[in-house]
Amino acid sequence: MTLASVLNLHPDFSDPALHAEGHYIGGHWLPGGGIPVTDPSTGAVLAEVPDASVEVGLAAVEAAAAAAPGWRATPARQRSEILRRWFTLMTERAEDLAVLISLENGKALADARGEVAYAAEFFRWYAEEATRIPGEFRTAPSGANRILVDHEPIGVSLLITPWNFPAAMATRKIGPALAAGCTVILKPASETPLTAFAMARLGEEAGVPPGVVNVLTTRQPGPVVAAILADPRVRKLSFTGSTPVGRQLLAEAAKSVVSCSMELGGNAPFLVFDDADLSAALDGAMVAKMRNAGEACTAANRFYVQDGIHDAFVAGLTERMAALRVGAGTDPMTQCGPMITAKAVAKIEALVTDAVGRGARVRTGGAAMTGAGNFYPPTVLDNVPADAAMAREEIFGPVAAIYRFSEEAEAIRLANDTEYGLAAYVYTADLKRALRVGRSLESGMVALNRGLMSDPAAPFGGAKQSGLGREGGTTGILEFMEAKYYAVDF
């Protein structure tokens, strides 16, 4: 069954032009097969996408390098307007993109719609930033000369993205790269390539010149990516994915000293103090845990709840989690879709079994669902011991693990007891405490009395082994630029 025939059956999917299946290189669509894309709610094959060889990877470098001088010389205003048109097209086709994301990723339509809006915003934000690239002019402290700092596009950039936000993780890289004047090669995750190809179609329609954006999929990311990084014309690797793969790619990029931005895994703590507004904390907990059914790098992985509010929080969260409707993402009634793969379900099962074996109590859920599809039910565990494997590893699923604490210092120590440092959440009515705790948390982002922090206008990224660099905000564009300093004598 082809993607087109599946999607044509779907009442919400109106635009056959988005049914792109093929590598997109140098403005050409190159058909092929070899990588099946499946619907995680049924296991049915939706489509096949091509499996790039090393040669195809190098052809993409060639195309991006050939387009680079022209794109770099294109006035910022013109680059900006192309990005802005791409934003408009994504917004106009938001429902089609949401259905596509929901089909290949499994996430609930409401989450997919939220992702499309978030993803498109990166194009709007960087359409604005393209015309405001900063520079510097100072007098040297010695007084002998002037210091002039210019920012130039870094060059051909390789963008590698994960499956959990197939649209947003791509636009968060393409937006700043194109705004900066770089040409790109995007390698989306094998599980969710259809969204990336559909967005490339929209990019074409928006007027992105051939070769400025190239998209390929491969079953052998190791050798293909290694060959691309070894080409001296490639000057940037921007990766979003797991910490283990990020480490491997840092080592690969080191061979040719390629600049790296790394958005890696997380293990977010969610701290609830006695004085927190319980209802607001529960609302925030549901967003921080259940957006994307828990398959988010910012997902609350460990709930630390103070003694006085603990029991009410456990009862409230259990009630809300147990009431969620589990089902196929494209069913409009679904609130929790399937996990991406059977392997992901098995990992969640193993983490829950380990925690329960060490004394955690199951308040709701707690066992994988039988039947077709990769379903795991919303689950709440309390009394989770600090030595449970889920205290150290990303659960990446709809499991809320609750730990109890008494003192602020203890909560901070537990929250920081991880190699990760991406996101953290704090709920308290005391502003002084919120800021004090926020400053003590070893993470790149802190949400204070909020369950959601992602915003294209803010710097997104992690400390420790959660990554290097920031995406979004006013600094995100500099990840795709090289500073050039001129020592100037008048």
Q: Which residues are catalytic?
A: 263
Least spacing, CB of residue 218 vs ligand NAP, in Å:
6
If one asks whether residue 297 binds ligand NAP (CB under 6 A), the answer comes out as: yes
Helix (H, G, I), strand (E, B) or coil at 288: helix
The radius of gyration of the chain's CA atoms, rounded to the nearest angstrom, is 23
Q: CB count, 10 Å around CB of 485?
A: 10
Does 242 help bind ligand NAP (rule: CB under 6 A)? yes
Least CB distance from residue 257 to ligand NAP, whole Å? 18
Chosen residue from 21, 204, 231, 394 binding ligand NAP by CB under 6 A? 394
- Please identify which residue in 221, 338, 456, 472 interacts with ligand NAP, judged by CB under 6 A: 221
For residue 364, report the phi and psi dihedrals to the nearest 5 degrees.
Answer: -155, 155
Please, what is the minimum distance in Å from the beta carbon of residue 241 to ligand NAP?
3
User: Is 467 among the residues that bind ligand NAP (CB under 6 A)?
Assistant: yes
Cα gap 487→382, rounded to integer Å: 61
What is the distance between the alpha carbons of residues 295 and 242, in angstroms, rounded to a whole number?
12
Q: Does 114 bind ligand NAP (CB under 6 A)?
A: no
Taking the CA atoms of residue 138, residue 141, residue 144 and residue 148 in that order, the dihedral angle to the nearest 10 degrees is -20
Residue 37 contacts ligand NAP per CB under 6 A: no
Question: Which of 89, 98, 189, 411 lies at the binding interface for ligand NAP (CB under 6 A)?
Answer: 189
346 CB-near residues (< 8 Å, 6+ apart): none
Of 24, 3, 250, the closest CA to residue 103 belongs to 3
> In the complex with ligand NAP, which residue's Cβ is closer, 99 or 299?
299
Provide the terminal-to-terminal Cα distance of the chain, rounded to the nearest Å. Answer: 69
Choose the stretch contacting ligand NAP; rule: CB under 6 A; options: 202-210, 235-243, 270-278, 308-316: 235-243
Shortest CB 300 distance to ligand NAP, Å: 13
Contact flag: residue 293 with ligand NAP (CB under 6 A): no
Residue 268 vs 281, nearer CB to ligand NAP? 268
> By CB under 6 A, what part of segment 405-424 binds ligand NAP?
422
Within 10 angstroms of residue 73's Cβ, the number of other Cβ atoms is 8
Give 130 or 186: the residue with its C-beta nearer to ligand NAP. 186
Q: How far is the CB of 138 from ligand NAP (least distance, A)?
A: 34
- CA pair distance 192, 189, nearest whole angstrom: 6
Build a one-symbol-per-residue string for 257-276: x at contacts with ligand NAP by CB under 6 A, - elsewhere: ------xxxx----------
Rounded Cα distance, 150 and 88, in Å:
31
Residue 375 to residue 106: CA distance in whole angstroms: 10
162 part of the interface to ligand NAP, by CB under 6 A? yes
Name the closest residue to ligand NAP (Cβ): 241
Residue 160 sits in the site that holds ligand NAP (CB under 6 A): yes
Nearer residue to ligand NAP within complex by CB, 188 or 211 = 188
240 is an interface residue for ligand NAP by CB under 6 A = yes
Distances (CA, A) of 294 to 306, 311, 344: 23, 23, 12
Closest residue by Cα to residue 382 from 362, 352, 405, 353: 362
Q: Indicate the pairing of strand 259-263 with strand 467-468.
A: antiparallel
Residue 106 binding ligand NAP, by CB under 6 A: no
Angle made by CA atoms 446, 451, 455, in degrees to the nearest 5:
70
Kindly report the CA angle at 162 between 160 and 166, in degrees rounded to 5? 100
Give whichever of 267 and 330 is closer to ligand NAP, judged by the CB atom: 267
Give min distance, CB of 463 to ligand NAP, in A. 11
CA–CA dist 341, 323 (Å, integer): 24
Rounded to whole angstroms, the Cα distance separating 255 from 211 reads 26
Binding flag, residue 449, ligand NAP (CB under 6 A) = no
Total residues binding ligand NAP (CB under 6 A): 28
Which of 74, 88, 91, 248 contacts ligand NAP by CB under 6 A? 248
Tokens of 211: 């070769």
Taking CB under 6 A as the binding criterion, the range among 81-89, 115-123, 245-253, 273-281 that sits at the site for ligand NAP is 245-253
Chain position carrying tokens 């290694």: 226
Of 265 and 338, the one with the shorter C-beta distance to ligand NAP is 265
- Residue 23 in the binding site for ligand NAP (CB under 6 A): no
C-alpha–C-alpha distance, residues 203 and 195, integer Å = 12
Q: What is the nearest approach in angstroms of ligand NAP to the Cβ of residue 256?
A: 15
C-beta separation of 93 from 18 below 8 A: yes
Indicate whether 327 belongs to the interface with ligand NAP (CB under 6 A).
Answer: no
For ligand NAP, the closer CB: 221 or 398: 221
| Alpha-carbon span 468 to 139, nearest angstrom | 31
Q: Which positions lie near ligand NAP, rule CB under 6 A?
A: 160-165, 169, 187, 189-190, 221-222, 225, 240-242, 245, 248-249, 263-266, 297, 394, 422, 462, 467
